[in-house]
């Protein structure tokens, strides 16, 4: 096939690793074709990671996101080298296919269906590797003063000093304030995308937990209704058994009573015939 069924971004699952803290990564699946594509996500360490959702349908020329959450870890991997991997299976499905129709048999390559598999490795980075904790002068988001601005500031400062006035002390404070403002603006530009991404990942996790809770509640309600139906059936069967037992007892008692009555009548007739 010339193109992949699904385009995966990012190509690696990257976590900002901190001890005893959860970390999340959002992966986007893009379908650039005109057919429906089902996907399923697997991992080599299911107890270590939480994937929501694990299965789904990507519509033609559409996208779908899934969130991978790494549970809080108590130890640091050697050299931050993580050997865990994820497998994204994809298969072309007909229109109208739902998530309930997705099973492991759908991704069998020998079934004659177009199936693809992609492996994603796990990459761990430290919080200190983020730009805000490093050298701010190397970050492209922070505007640096141009050489012309620096030269002009030096000329103004030298001119004021040559005049011998006390205003020469004003220049360093103005330049320092301007530099501080640039640094603050740069830090805000750095923090806003990070905070937005973190809030977006938390929102995805909470949404996944809410869907899971709703599914659990629906399952409990269905189980309650099923138990109520079984209880009513048991009551009906018990009533029928009671009726059958009453009828049986009546049938068993009738011959004995009949024999007693016949015996009494016979004795009375015999007594009057043969006094």
Share of the chain above pLDDT 90, in %: 40
> Is it the case that residue 131 has pLDDT exceeding 60?
no
Give the angle subtended at the CA of 96 by the CAs of 93 and 98, to the nearest 5°: 80
d(CA 22, CA 24): 7
* pLDDT digit string, tens, across residues 66-115: 999 999 999 999 888 999 999 999 999 999 999 999 999 999 988 778 89
> Which residues make beta-bridge pairs with 52?
67
d(CA 88, CA 10): 13
Domain regions of the chain by residue span:
6-125, 246-273
Q: What pLDDT was estimated at residue 68?
A: 97
Single out the residue of 141, 154, 245 nearest to residue 185, CA to CA: 141
> Is it the case that residue 266 has pLDDT exceeding 90?
no
Distance of CA 151 to the CA centre of its chain: 55
Q: What pLDDT was estimated at residue 170?
A: 40
> Which residues make beta-bridge pairs with 29?
8, 64
Q: What pLDDT was estimated at residue 111?
A: 72
b/e code 119-146 from CB counts within 10 Å (16+ = b): ebebbbeeeeeebeeeebeebeebeeee
Residue 31 · residue 10 · CB < 8 Å: no
Which architecture does CATH list for 6-125? Sandwich (2.60)
Alpha-carbon Rg of the chain, whole angstroms?
Answer: 40
Cis peptide before 10 (omega within 30 of 0): yes
Residue 42 · residue 179 · CB < 8 Å: no
Q: How many CA atoms lie less than 13 Å away from 37 in the CB half-sphere?
A: 26
Give the angle subtended at the CA of 196 by the CAs of 15 and 74, to the nearest 5°: 30
């Amino acid at each position: 096939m010339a193109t992949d069924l699904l385009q995966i971004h990012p190509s690696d699952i990257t976590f900002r690793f901190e001890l005893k803290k959860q970390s999340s990564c959002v992966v986007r699946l893009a379908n650039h074709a005109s057919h429906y594509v089902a996907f399923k996500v697997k991992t080599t360490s299911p107890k270590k990671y939480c994937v929501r959702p694990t299965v789904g349908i990507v519509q033609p020329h559409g996208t779908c996101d899934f969130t991978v959450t790494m549970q809080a870890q108590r130890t640091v991997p050697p050299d931050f080298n993580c050997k865990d991997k994820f497998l994204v299976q994809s298969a072309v499905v007909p229109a109208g296919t739902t998530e309930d129709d997705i099973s492991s048999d759908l991704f069998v390559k020998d079934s004659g269906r177009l199936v693809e598999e992609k492996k994603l490795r796990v990459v761990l980075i430290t919080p200190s590797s983020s730009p805000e904790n490093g050298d701010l002068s190397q970050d492209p988001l922070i505007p640096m003063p141009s050489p012309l601005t620096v030269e002009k500031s030096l000329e103004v400062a030298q001119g004021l000093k040559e005049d011998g006035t006390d205003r020469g002390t004003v220049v360093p404070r103005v330049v320092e304030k301007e530099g501080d403002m640039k640094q603050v603006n740069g830090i805000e530009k750095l923090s806003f995308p990070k905070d937005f991404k973190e809030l977006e990942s938390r929102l995805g996790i909470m949404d996944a937990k809410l869907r899971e809770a709703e599914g659990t509640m629906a399952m409990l309600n269905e189980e309650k209704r099923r138990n109520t139906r079984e209880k009513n059936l048991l009551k009906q069967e018990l009533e029928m058994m009671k009726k059958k037992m009453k009828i049986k007892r009546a049938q068993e008692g009738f011959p004995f009573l009949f024999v007693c009555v016949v015996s009494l009548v016979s004795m009375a007739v015999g007594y009057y015939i043969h006094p």
